[in-house]
Structure 1
Amino acid sequence: MPAWLSRSTVLFCCLLLTACGSASAQTRLNELTVAMSSDLSSFDPAMGNAGTDHVFLYPVYDTLIDFEPETTEPIPGLATSWEYTDPHTLELELREGVTFHDGEEFTADAVVKNLERSRSEGSNLQSELASISDVVATDDHTVEIRLSEPDSALPLILSDRSGMMVSPASLEDPDTLATRPVGTGPWEFLDWNRGSAVKLTANDDYWDESVEVSPNLTFRVLTDPKTRVDSLITNQVDFSYQVGAGDAEGLALNEQITVQADPSMRVRMVYLDLSDDLMSDPRVREALNLAIDRDQLANVGFFGHAQPASTFLPATHWASVNEESAYPYDPERARELLSEAGAEDASFSMLLPNDANTVRIAEILRYSFKEVGVTVQMKPRELVQSTTEYFDEHRDPALLSAWTGRPDPAQTYAQLLAASGYYNAGSVAPPGLEEAVEESNTHTDNDARADSLKEAGRLDREFSTFMPLVFEDAIVAYDKNIQGYQPNLLGKPKFTNVIEAG
């Protein structure tokens, strides 16, 4: 890592020493303005399809269970405690005195309605809640989640979209919910100008009095990386999310700006639709993976702020097989496999977001594939349009995008690789993977779960389901007077307790 860019712990300590002064010098920003690289797809947690949606959703929706930012270990959220009373029953004790933004009380009945909707037909969350057979309110603040099979991943699943609690009244009108969210979170919705800005205001009745929030939170959608950089330099925004590695070095030279890079589970990848004739052949998928020099891609395409990826869990994760499963760079073997598959002069189209950084990565990939005889037609789109055309409309067999990670690895396998997973466009799973994940969910200890989850990772690698490329560092930049920013391993900040040093 370049010397100019330190990790979060060092930066945070430096900020505390140089900017804090005393508690009396800390004030709330009247408005925190955040530059985003893309708009969200929907405010409906069960229907959105973009990984970056979480950054917009977290301020409005609390989750039943929260997670530790640095480890993703589960901690209390709207549920103060949880317990498996038997292998087929998860009991949640709910927080009292919580209200939705529309004034409705948060109760067990609200949890039942949310979970029943999220696991129903048509929900993008159905696959990760497949183990639930029934949800019952045993009293106003206790919920029993009854399972058809053991599922130890469920607590962390409830720290993600599936655990985001929506006002029951809003659930009755899903079309309005998609654009006007009503949750219990630290901010309330004000306005969404699609493609331009989302405006939120502080929830003055928020249940957690220990949380500080700015009175107003505005997300500005600035798809051009240079515009995001310029807006930060000229004080039009306070914070820039997903700073490109190529822009970070220049920003770090500005004494008025703090640049912060943190490890994350975000995987830049190429999704493949295995129902496509070309992509259905595992030899073709293996060849495409072997055609990529991931070390060079990490160093050149991401300026050293990435690590090669061959699976979907980084090497430091307790269930990772990334190191043992690494794809070698072997264009000669790639050509042999393509010849065996009768695909020597193959071609395919690839959707991708139209931001400059992604287009640059796509050009590197196109050159790599050309070297082994494969032609790629690139189709740049606005981010939400690219994901909609791929996942919902199935227009093209490939999508260059990212998997942003989930708190529990079983979620990744359920949503990304299982046949019923929303992000598996071709609905073809690696043989044996779903059984391995089911086996992991029968254990509550991570050491016991790891064996089965590692086997799932190996099965995915053998099948060459998709094309994981690199694990990206999460790089953000913000005004030097801002402090309290807390990154998390998912690379999706929540912006609570962000304050300004007076």
Structure 2
Amino acid sequence: MKKKVLTAAMTSLLALSMVLAGCSSSQPAQQPSDQGQAQQQTPPAEPAKNEPKQLIIGRGADTKSLDPIRETDGETFRVTENIYETLVSYEDTNTTVIPGLAESWEISEDGLTYTFKLRQGVKFHDGTDFNAEAVKFNFDRWMDKSNKYHNPEGFPYYNDMFGGYKGDPDHVIKEIKVVDAHTIQFVLNRTQAPFLANLGMSPFAIASPKAIEGGKLGDEPVGTGPFKFAGWKRNDIITLEKNPDYWNKGYPKLDKVIFKVIPENTARLTALTSGEIDLMDGLNPDDAEAVKENKDLQLLLRPSMNVGYLAFNTEKKPFDNPKVRQAISHAINKPEMVKAFYSGLGEPATNPMPPSLWGYNDQIKDREYNLDQAKKLLAEAGYPNGFKVQFMAMPVPRPYIPDGKKMAEAIQQDLKKIGIETEIVTMEWATYLEKTRLGEYEMCLLGWNGDNGDPDNFLYTLLDKNTINGNNIPRYSNEEVHQLLLKAQSTSDQKERETLYKKAQELIFNDAPLVPIAHSTPPIAAKAGVTGYQPHPKGSESVEKVDIQ
């Protein structure tokens, strides 16, 4: 059978699974220009030759687990991406697929067989060899429910991106073959257009089989990445140290990276300006201008590839009725929300995927803010006097919703105008994620940052019936949407995929399982001396190329 061969120089030719995020690239981190003072400024002192270079990153919440396949949240991945690596990766500022632990690959003409050539001489941090057997060990653990190392509750991301598990009717991967020590082959049950792009996602990082067998991977991670795990003080700091045997010679530039939890956005900015930390995310959008004007700091913008939303549990009354969901959509003043919480760094959302992605349906016109229409729909649904509901508000800042508690309070006031009384509740972040995933809520705020630049990663991942108990927080099930999304996965023709995704968005809009609120351009602040930091549209990145003066 004739093969198509891809190497690092040819990845741009991959039509089957190449998907660009459509986001503009962020610029490299640079010291802000101030021509009026430039000549008077004293440049930062160079560290002594033997003085370790350390980067302290401030963030709003702790990591859940350092076993990335078990998690779905960005606070986990911002750490694990520095410890582990995936078979393929993405370019620094977009989601173009490039080699990772696999240096090249071949795809059969029928799109059902992928053969990867692995890098040689790569070691896990525990000294064991990275090879084809290690890759198979990891995938067997993820895809086979009978595997002794499989999570009894499953792996949400694996289920969501590969159509369930081994033996399930829509499962993508048929088998994995070790061809030789440095060649691994994936044979698929059905074609999947974003298969390569999916393999680059953070949860599919390859861990040491020895560490998996030890049963402590979530607390003592072992990968092949630029940094090694050094310690974790829960709800405080995670410390990583340079991997001196890293295969990508010349990197990392830092000797140590510390991830420090500072829950409040304002307190995190204070820590940055005082020198306690070197870089922070979760900057309040209305603080962005002050950072930009501070000669000791720099403002960076993460390219937008996200959506913040209000979700309904469609399996529970009254949210099993589409008219109730549509009514609430009319009652939320999105433009005012964006104005109040995003300070010019966001836009109102209509669809559950951002307009920065191909396949976005710009023909759908959003429901206007109209309280009379909202009341009319509630009455038609049998709730002329409204109802009472528990409303879960996010306890931590996220790129797509900078302040979940205050946004929940604003929505609370909007809904009160149509007779809906809400009791706002919140809880620790890991518990919040688990409860929403399992449907233990009535109404909640959440959001999504895209992982790979493909519409599939929004529409299928968030709203297909197969992803209930995964990332389908509304527990939405529509058979017509399901069939459209499966068909879109299985064709390599991008124009056909666009047509299918646009139709799916029309059905989802009509059913309103969630209210898309905003797409943000998240601001990030750093010391002026931090260089080489490239915010990635997928929401997290390795800092192997970062340096600090």
Please say whether Structure 1 and Structure 2 have the same fold, judged by a TM-score greater than 0.5: yes
Q: Which residue of 2 aligns with 1:359?
A: 405
CA contact (8 A) 1:261 1:476 kept: yes
Output aligned runs, 1:448-487, within 5 Å: 448-487=496-535
Q: Which residue of 2 aligns with 1:166?
A: 207
CA spacing shift, 1:196–1:433, aligned 2, 3 Å? same
Output aligned runs, 1:258-337, within 5 Å: 258-322=298-362, 324-337=364-377
1:355-409: CA deviation from partner (whole Å, max 9, x where unpaired)? 48221111111111112221211112232221122224x4312221221222132
CA spacing shift, 1:448–1:15, aligned 2, 3 Å? farther
CA spacing shift, 1:493–1:279, aligned 2, 3 Å? same
CA contact (8 A) 2:70 2:203 kept: no
* Letter matched to residue 368 of structure 2: P
Q: Which residue of 2 aligns with 1:199?
A: 239
1:238-259: CA deviation from partner (whole Å, max 9, x where unpaired)? 0011212133233333221111
* Letter matched to residue 77 of structure 2: H
Q: CA deviation at 1:15?
A: 7.0
Alpha-carbon distance in 2 for matches of 1:64, 1:230? 39
Q: Does 1:54 align with 2:77?
A: yes
Q: CA deviation at 1:161?
A: 3.2
Which of the residues 240, 244, 249 maps onto 2:280? Answer: 240
- Pairwise CA RMSD of aligned residues? 2.7
Q: CA deviation at 1:150?
A: 0.8
Alpha-carbon distance in 2 for matches of 1:7, 1:418? 30
1:191 aligns to what SS in structure 2?
A: strand
Q: CA deviation at 1:488?
A: 1.3
Alpha-carbon distance in 2 for matches of 1:365, 1:7? 33
Q: Which residue of 2 aligns with 1:413?
A: 459
2:411 aligns to what SS in structure 1?
A: helix
CA spacing shift, 1:482–1:90, aligned 2, 3 Å? same
2:266 aligns to what SS in structure 1?
A: helix
Alpha-carbon distance in 1 for matches of 2:138, 2:365? 39
Alpha-carbon distance in 2 for matches of 1:202, 1:409? 36
Alpha-carbon distance in 2 for matches of 1:25, 1:181? 30
1:56-102: CA deviation from partner (whole Å, max 9, x where unpaired)? 11101111111124331111111112332132222222111111111
- Larger displacement relative to structure 2 (369-378 or 243-252): 243-252
2:465 aligns to what SS in structure 1?
A: coil
CA contact (8 A) 1:309 1:322 kept: no
Which of the residues 490, 495, 515 maps onto 1:447? Answer: 495
Alpha-carbon distance in 2 for matches of 1:478, 1:417? 36
CA contact (8 A) 2:32 2:297 kept: no
* Letter matched to residue 225 of structure 2: G
CA contact (8 A) 2:72 2:203 kept: no
Q: Does 1:400 align with 2:400?
A: no
* Letter matched to residue 95 of structure 2: T
* Letter matched to residue 415 of structure 1: T
CA contact (8 A) 2:227 2:252 kept: no
* Letter matched to residue 450 of structure 1: E
TM value normalised by structure 2: 0.84
Alpha-carbon distance in 2 for matches of 1:111, 1:7? 32
Q: Which residue of 2 aligns with 1:155?
A: 196
Q: Which residue of 1 aligns with 2:436?
A: 390
- Larger displacement relative to structure 2 (425-434 or 383-392): 425-434
CA contact (8 A) 2:330 2:371 kept: yes
**Number of residue pairs matched?**
493
CA spacing shift, 1:277–1:32, aligned 2, 3 Å? same
Q: Which residue of 1 aligns with 2:540?
A: 492
Q: CA deviation at 1:415?
A: 2.6
Alpha-carbon distance in 2 for matches of 1:95, 1:467? 45
Q: For structure 1, which runs of at least 5 residues remain unmatched after alignment?
A: 1-5
Q: Which residue of 2 aligns with 1:35?
A: 58
Alpha-carbon distance in 2 for matches of 1:321, 1:315? 8
CA spacing shift, 1:291–1:426, aligned 2, 3 Å? closer
CA contact (8 A) 1:118 1:162 kept: no
Calculate percent identity across the aligned residue pairs.
24
Alpha-carbon distance in 1 for matches of 2:374, 2:282? 33
TM value normalised by structure 1: 0.91
* Letter matched to residue 199 of structure 1: T
Alpha-carbon distance in 2 for matches of 1:353, 1:426? 16
Q: Which residue of 2 aligns with 1:123?
A: 155
CA contact (8 A) 1:115 1:162 kept: no
Q: For structure 2, which runs of at least 5 residues remain unmatched after alignment?
A: 1-23, 146-153, 164-171, 398-402
CA contact (8 A) 1:119 1:127 kept: no
* Letter matched to residue 319 of structure 1: G
Alpha-carbon distance in 2 for matches of 1:333, 1:177? 52
* Letter matched to residue 380 of structure 1: T
CA contact (8 A) 1:114 1:165 kept: yes
Alpha-carbon distance in 2 for matches of 1:307, 1:202? 39
Q: CA deviation at 1:11?
A: 6.4
- Larger displacement relative to structure 2 (473-482 or 8-17): 8-17
Alpha-carbon distance in 2 for matches of 1:88, 1:7? 33
Q: CA deviation at 1:457?
A: 2.4
Q: Which residue of 2 aligns with 1:432?
A: 480
2:68 aligns to what SS in structure 1?
A: coil
CA spacing shift, 1:160–1:355, aligned 2, 3 Å? closer
- Larger displacement relative to structure 2 (428-437 or 29-38): 428-437
